[in-house]
Amino acid sequence: MAQIKKSGDLRQFLADSIMAVKNGHMDLHKAREITKLAAQINESFYSEIKIAKTAKELGQAAVGMGELKIGNID
């Protein structure tokens, strides 16, 4: 897989990593690090969904996934 651009790509990468560990092609240390990084990405997804839901509840427009501004960027 060249790049992970969609949530399905991430799931496939993680599934491939699980199989690589199972087949002995990836060591457990590397798999643990991948798991930690994937968890951070999933937290980011969850945060964006919560922010979009809150914006909608307040009658505001929600930005698209991956478009949320960080900091004071105009």
pLDDT in tens for each of the 74 residues of the chain?
Answer: 678 888 888 889 999 999 999 999 999 999 999 999 989 988 999 999 999 999 999 999 998 888 888 887 66
Q: Quick one: DSSP state of residue 64?
A: P
> Which range marks the domain in which residue 56 is found?
27-61
Specify if 43 maps to a domain: yes
pLDDT of residue 5: 86
**Predicted structure pTM score:** 0.70
In a domain, 39, yes or no: yes
Residue 74 forms part of a structural domain: no
Answer for the pair 31, 17: CB distance below 8 angstroms, yes or no: yes
Q: Is residue 46 part of a domain?
A: yes
Contact (CB, 8 A) for 48 and 70: no
CA distance 34 to 40: 10
Number of domains in the chain: 1
Give domain status of residue 4, yes or no.
Answer: no
Q: Which residue has the tokens 């105009």?
A: 74
Does some domain include residue 21? no
Question: Does 34 reside within a domain?
Answer: yes
